[in-house]
């Protein structure tokens, strides 16, 4: 995962706890999870729309770009 090992992840966790405090970390994780979920849904919708447009072009007899 991006070349991060267990020691690096531990250091990042300790720094995050020092900066944000132990009570704020779950809230930040929840917000990050919601953001990533929303981003994935948006990417999925864009993929679906592009596939739909490509299928419509093929049905019309136009070569795909």
Q: Per the domain annotation, does 63 fall within a domain? A: no
Is 37 in a helix, a strand, or coil? helix
Q: Per the domain annotation, does 37 fall within a domain? A: yes
Q: Per the domain annotation, does 38 fall within a domain? A: yes
Which pLDDT band holds residue 43 (cuts at 50, 70, 90)?
confident
Q: Per the domain annotation, does 26 fall within a domain? A: yes
The pLDDT assigned to 62 comes to 58
Structural domains of the chain, count: 1
Q: Per the domain annotation, does 2 fall within a domain? A: no
Domain assignment of residue 31, given as a range: 17-53
pLDDT of 34 > 90? The answer is yes
DSSP 8-class letter at 64: P
pLDDT of 63 > 80? The answer is no
Q: Per the domain annotation, does 35 fall within a domain? A: yes
Helix (H) or strand (E) holding 16: helix 6-20
| pTM recorded for the entire structure | 0.53
Q: What percentage of the chain exceeds 90 in pLDDT?
A: 29
């Amino acid at each position: 995962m991006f070349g991060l090992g267990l020691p690096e992840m531990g250091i990042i966790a300790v720094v995050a706890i020092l900066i944000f405090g132990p009570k704020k970390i779950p809230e930040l994780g929840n917000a990050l999870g919601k953001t990533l979920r929303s981003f994935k849904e948006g990417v999925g919708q864009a993929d679906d729309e592009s596939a739909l447009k490509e299928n419509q072009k093929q049905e019309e007899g136009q070569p795909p770009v």
